[in-house]
Amino acid sequence: MLAKTHCEEAMSERFKAKLKPYHHHFEKCSKAVCVHHGRSRDKVRLGDLVTIPNSDLHHVMDSTAMVAISHAIVDLALEERRGELIAVFQDFKNFLPYRKRYMGLAEDLDAVRVWGCGEIPKKCGKVDFVPADEKRLRRYWLMLFEAEHARSVLLCKQINRAEKFEDKKFIGFYSFNPYLVQSIRWRFNIMNCGLSGVISHWEKSFPFPDLKMRDLDRLIRHPDVVSV
């Protein structure tokens, strides 16, 4: 991981402040498994701000951790009131509980783009919807915000076959690096052309460690196991 700039450090502190209100919603302490070069090692608990996994490193996260980080990024966008927000919900029906919030965001931001599959929601003001019918795209979860003085991204890929959101497991990272945020934003925006070659290029540009679910389950069940 590259040494962080003062800008990234400042964004990290703002992010932690935005994440803090969502921790009291956790009935149980969410977990993330730190992953290096495809090998699972330390278990990292997301019970408080001190033990949030380092950004720019790959982690396996459950749905609770994913939603909390996503909400924190959206709150950063609300605070800035300018810039572009990209959100991938996998299925548009997952967007419906947040319809009013995103409609409000679209009134202030330069652009709010929501990706997903299924029936496109109606009467959502200035929110732009981008169909992601390609099966490979539906495995991704992306929450990206970029403005002149603020940027952040959460990029994950589903690693199990669960259909129920609460049971899904993702591998990915979050970052405040300006170059990385801009690169992901640019590459993801051109994927709406639907060309298979473009999607393949995207997956090669941001490869995720190869982690088998049986290895992950064994690590979670047996905390004394530090690598697989």
- Out of 96-110, 151-165, 199-213, which region has the weakest mean confidence (pLDDT)? 199-213
Structure tokens given for 216:
């992950």
* Domain residue limits at 50: 6-221
Residue 185 maps to a domain: yes
Looking at residue 126, its pLDDT comes to 94
Asked which of 48-57, 65-74, 135-144, 162-171 is least confident by mean pLDDT, the reply is 48-57
Residue 121 within any structural domain of the chain: yes
Q: Which residue has the higher pLDDT, 72 or 172?
A: 72
Query: Given pLDDT bands bounded at 50, 70 and 90, which one contains residue 209?
Result: low
% of the chain surpassing 90 pLDDT: 26
Number of domains the chain contains? 1
pTM of the full predicted structure?
0.76
- Which one-letter amino acid corresponds to residue 183? S
- Centroid of chain to Cα 1: 19
Confidence grade of residue 221 (pLDDT, cut at 50, 70, 90):
low
Q: Could you tell me if residue 1 is inside a domain?
A: no
What mean pLDDT is predicted for residues 86-97?
Answer: 90
Q: What is the pLDDT of residue 219?
A: 54
Give the CATH number for residue 211: 3.30.870
